Structure 1
Amino acid sequence: MEWPTVIAEKLSIKYPIIQAPMFGVSTPKMVAASMNIGCLGTLALADLSADQSAKLIQETKKLTDQPFAVNIFAHYIPEITNDLQQKFIKTKFFIEQLAKESHLEVNLPDLENIKINSYHEQIDVIIDEGCKILSFTFGNLDGESIQKLKENGVLLIGTCTSVEEALVLEKSGIDIICVQGIEAGGHRGTFDVENIPQIGGLSLLSQVYDHVGIPLIYAGGLYNARTLYAAKELGAKGFQVGSILLASQESALRLFEKEKLKAVNERDIVLTKSFSGRYARGIKNKFIETLDNSEYVLPYPYQNKLTNELRKVAKTMCNTDFVNIWLGQSIHNYSELSTVDILKNLILEVKEI
């Protein structure tokens, strides 16, 4: 298989393979390792504050002098209403009691103590730190931010989960689109929080390719040469991989979480809003089964902020029932090699097709 060149040239990389952001899993070391093998490393900034974002960017710069990508959440922040306040109180109490029943002592934050960050405060940091590649998910950036970033030479990669979203991104001047199939692990990049298009990746990729004229990256189910080849045949010029790096040496997952990957089967992988208030694909556990389809799920980002302390405590207790392990549908042998070796093996496999 010959690699498509258009995205590799745009991103100044040797191979058009993009390490997925995976907030909470990827690390500056993973980003640098991806760059070292000639792929694009992506630093996940999610909805961190400006100061936290700057610190992570600077930490990554110490490990690589190559232009890595940064990724942010272009999310809508719901207004705090009386109904939301009351629901927050009920949800907090329910989750604390659920945790206590499982011998996890947690003190979840009150609504007034939660700090919600908008992506707008990250834009200046990204520009000031000289980042030249920005990918984003959960929606589209506003026109003023797009103009400001472009004036500072930042290449923009938006995420779509439907043809409609792809057309919006193209019309607004986004340079590259990452097409995310429903089988992809982690959060859905869907613009609408409630009504997510559940479109299989290869069907979506083919349709988006027919409707837009800018280069496409594909994300969802890529774990070996055959899956990359299929995406290439349907129009992908770049390939975003995430789940294959979950158990890597540079992954932030702890040993008990990596062990959980080895026993997973196809029935265990579900879409859920329970941890964050936005749909994400991961491994089913007690928390997900209890909260899904219940009244105790707040809109994003409030649910995400509320459950953050619970997940931290569960990690310290090695309790898989109360942590989120995001995972795509393509089950395989989750390698514990270094990111460099995992990507190198994938590249070699692709060359043999």
Structure 2
Amino acid sequence: MFWPDTISKKLGIRYPLIQAPMFGVSTVEMAVAAAKADCLGSLALADLSADQSVELIREMKTLTDKPFAANIFVHHIPEVTDALKEKYSKTKQFIEQLAKENGIEVYLPDLETININGYHEQVDAIIEENCKIVSFTFGNLDDQSIRKLKEKGVTLIGTCTSVKEALLLENSGIDIICVQGIEAGGHRGSFEAEHIPQIGGLSLLSQIYDQVNVPLIYAGGIYEARTLKAVKDLGAQGFQVGNLLLASQESALLPFEKERLKKVTEDEIVLTKSFSGRYARGVRNQFIETIENSEYILPYPYQNKLTNALRKAAKSLQNPEFVGIWVGQSIHQYSELSTEDILKKLIEACER
């Protein structure tokens, strides 16, 4: 049998393929389509409020009775100090002026009006809604949350980008670890926002396999049968794909963004903190080039909240120079088929 069955049995799915959460790109429809392919759909709840999380969970449940993972962010929220207030004000002013000079009229939010949500209320909402799989990124859950979720029989999937992070997850009782290589698109799942581990996926997976005893999912660079088989040989028992689904029917990317993806070259794919304050891998553009090595980057999530309105305005103008188009290092055809069909084709290719 080609597919390892440890993770699929644990999660109640046929194939140990996981649709990456990709907040801002994935949709409820994408997660449902992944479930239709007998894979695990991921519902990206990110740092939404508890009420917003409940709304999406209930929508998902009306569309499928198959298992899915509720995915949340567990990042540290920096304290609002006078220094942060001053830097926020300067950054807001600079980015508004930059946008105006490039034909984008946008007013970014004041610091006092931004809602920053922690994950503890989401955990309570997830338990109330009887979700049985929770995945998370940007750190580890606190001990109390782990205990509460495990008491309700929830399977926990944590994300790591180093051996050290993997060991921390295992030692705190996390059931499955998702190993994310540096080649993965979008935001790094690192526990640290600043000094992130920059370890290639194959090296990282092999090292973690030797040092932990829980089942491993691998994420980063899987886009066809050969890449999936390679990480299977290195010990992965589950396989997370995101880059493969970016242009799918269910993707939230707009047509102009999908077209930009199809023209991307390897030298245009960069790691940047410019849009969010955390390292993310995406397509280099004017905004990134202007902001990346400047003083106008706030800590996550403040930079992310600040630039959100700019990205929305740029999207409405179909301006690729001021949106974050996240993409991994494995460049391919970016199929516009449904997520279900893309995953089924991958399954067939692996089984051949």
TM-score by length of 2: 0.99
Distance 2:233 2:110 in 1: 50
- Structure 2 equivalent of residue 120 of structure 1: 120
1:32 and 2:44 are equivalent in the alignment: no
Summarize deviations over 1:88-121 as a string: whole Å, max 9, x none.
0000000000000110000100000111000111
Distance 2:85 2:166 in 1: 35
Distance 1:289 1:121 in 2: 37
Q: Is the partner of 1:345 in helix, strand or coil? A: helix
- Structure 1 equivalent of residue 218 of structure 2: 218
Q: 1:315 Cα shift?
A: 0.7
Distance 1:28 1:111 in 2: 30
Q: Counterparts of 1:264-279 in structure 2 under 5 Å? A: 264-279=264-279
Contact 2:2 2:351 in 1 (8 A): yes
* Counterpart code for 2:328: G
Q: 1:270 Cα shift?
A: 0.4
Summarize deviations over 1:239-263 as a string: whole Å, max 9, x none.
0000110000011100000000110
- Structure 2 equivalent of residue 103 of structure 1: 103
Distance 2:167 2:101 in 1: 48
- Structure 2 equivalent of residue 339 of structure 1: 339
Distance 2:258 2:62 in 1: 27
Q: Is the partner of 1:62 in helix, strand or coil? A: helix
Equivalent residues, number: 352
1:194 and 2:182 are equivalent in the alignment: no
- Structure 1 equivalent of residue 144 of structure 2: 144
Distance 1:165 1:206 in 2: 15
Distance 1:61 1:33 in 2: 13
* Counterpart code for 1:109: P
Q: RMSD value over aligned CA atoms?
A: 0.6
* Counterpart code for 1:271: L
- Structure 2 equivalent of residue 159 of structure 1: 159
Q: Is the partner of 2:157 in helix, strand or coil? A: strand
1:176 and 2:176 are equivalent in the alignment: yes
Distance 2:16 2:2 in 1: 11
1:348 and 2:345 are equivalent in the alignment: no
Q: 1:192 Cα shift?
A: 1.0
Q: 1:280 Cα shift?
A: 0.5
Distance 2:95 2:89 in 1: 10
Distance 1:57 1:97 in 2: 39
- Structure 2 equivalent of residue 246 of structure 1: 246
Distance 2:63 2:27 in 1: 11
Distance 1:28 1:89 in 2: 35
Identity across the alignment (%): 71
* Counterpart code for 2:76: Y
Distance 2:301 2:121 in 1: 16
Q: Is the partner of 2:153 in helix, strand or coil? A: coil
Contact 2:13 2:67 in 1 (8 A): no
Contact 2:159 2:189 in 1 (8 A): yes
Summarize deviations over 1:314-349 as a string: whole Å, max 9, x none.
111101011111100000000000111100100000
Contact 2:32 2:41 in 1 (8 A): yes
* Counterpart code for 1:273: K
Q: Is the partner of 2:87 in helix, strand or coil? A: helix
Distance 1:6 1:339 in 2: 24
Distance 2:131 2:87 in 1: 39
Name segments (4+ residues, structure 1) moved above 2 Å: none
Distance 2:322 2:57 in 1: 29
Distance 1:44 1:285 in 2: 26
Distance 1:151 1:334 in 2: 41
Q: Is the partner of 2:18 in helix, strand or coil? A: strand
1:302 and 2:315 are equivalent in the alignment: no
Q: Is the partner of 1:158 in helix, strand or coil? A: strand
- Structure 2 equivalent of residue 320 of structure 1: 320
| 5+ long unaligned stretches in structure 1 | none
- Structure 2 equivalent of residue 67 of structure 1: 67
Q: Is the partner of 1:61 in helix, strand or coil? A: helix
- Structure 2 equivalent of residue 209 of structure 1: 209
Q: 1:143 Cα shift?
A: 0.2
